Structure 1
Amino acid sequence: MTPALPLVLLGLVDAAFSGFRAYAGRDARVRKHRANLRAGLRGLAVGAVLLLIPVSTATLRLLTAADPRHAYETLAAGGLGYLLPLTVYATAVLLSLAAYFLLPFRASTLAMVIGLGPLTLLRPLALAGACLGSLLNGGGWASLLVGVLAAAAVLAVEPAVHRRWYRRIR
């Protein structure tokens, strides 16, 4: 199994949440479902474009390799090593989101404060762990390069969306 599809899907979901985070707190209206959806779609669009960089890098590596089969195997091993720390991180985020949506108001607020807040701050460390996992799982330097480019891409979504659409507070 190739880890490419789960990694791309995880990156796109993260990009949508990044778009939402870029917008969150910028609008004092009570009903802002459309604005939240629009912010998520903006993040998704920016993330899709930025994730073309690591995808293109991996594709270029496969097309220029002397032994494409070996290059594919090392990229796949690196991808699995990259996916493991992100799966642990995504599980923690999903549990915090479930607590936020399913628990009563006070408990859901607590879940937000002790779960989602710190987890957002830990995103760069989770991505650094994923890059290290890519290298340690036998992915080699090409997988590390693809992983670093993917990490930079997903970390750039929120500032890019903020700078483009949400610089001013309404």
Structure 2
Amino acid sequence: MTPALPLAALGLVDAAFSGFRAYAGRDARIRKHRANTRAALRGLAVGAVLLLAPALTAALHLLTAAAPDHAYAALTAGGLGYLLPLTAYAAAVLLSLTAYFVLPFRAGTLATVIGLGPLTLLRPLAIAAACLAALLHHGGWASLLIGAVAGAAMLSVEPIVHHRWYRQAHAPVER
């Protein structure tokens, strides 16, 4: 089993959430479904482009490897190692989102504050744990490199979307 498809799916879902986070809190309207959807789609588009970087890194590694079969096996092992911490992280996010949608309003809001707030801050640590797991799961240094490129790409989505579409121009400060 190749972990590329589940990893790509997780990356694309994360990119959509990153687009939403780049927009969240910028609009006081009550009904903003269209704007939320547009923000998520912007994150998805940016994430899809950025995910080409680890895909190209992996392809380049496989094309230049002395033993492509061995390199593919190592990347597969590393990808499975990378997938384990991210799956645990995604499950925690899904649990918090489920609580938000299933529980009554106040309890759902509390679940979001307690769950999604800290989980958003822990995203870089989850990616670092995934990179370490890729290396320790017999993926080798190439898996670590590809994981680091993928992690950097995913952590870049939200700032890019924010800068491109949601940055507010600040008036010059008079002294």
Question: Shorter-chain TM-score category?
Answer: over 0.9
Normalising to structure 1: TM-score of the pair?
Answer: 0.98
* 1:6 is aligned to 2:6: yes
Quote the residue 2:172 is aligned against: none
Q: CA deviation at 1:66?
A: 1.0
5+ residue gaps in structure 2? 170-175
Quote the residue 1:149 is aligned against: 149
Moved segments of 4+, more than 3 Å: none
Q: What amino acid sits opposite 1:24 in the alignment?
A: A
Quote the residue 1:128 is aligned against: 128
| Structure with the greater alpha carbon radius of gyration | 2
RMSD: 0.8
Q: What amino acid sits opposite 2:42 in the alignment?
A: R
* 1:101 is aligned to 2:101: yes
Query: Residue deviations 1:68-123, cap 9 Å, x none?
Result: 10000000000000000000000000000000011001110110111011000000
Q: What amino acid sits opposite 1:160 in the alignment?
A: I
Query: Quick one: distance in 2 between partners of 1:111 and 1:44?
Result: 25
Size of the alignment, in residue pairs? 169
Query: Quick one: distance in 2 between partners of 1:17 and 1:108?
Result: 18
Q: What amino acid sits opposite 1:122 in the alignment?
A: L
Q: CA deviation at 1:63?
A: 1.0
Quote the residue 2:173 is aligned against: none
Q: What amino acid sits opposite 1:46 in the alignment?
A: V
5+ residue gaps in structure 1? none
Query: Quick one: distance in 1 between partners of 2:166 and 2:94?
Result: 26
Quote the residue 1:56 is aligned against: 56
Query: Quick one: distance in 2 between partners of 1:105 and 1:96?
Result: 13
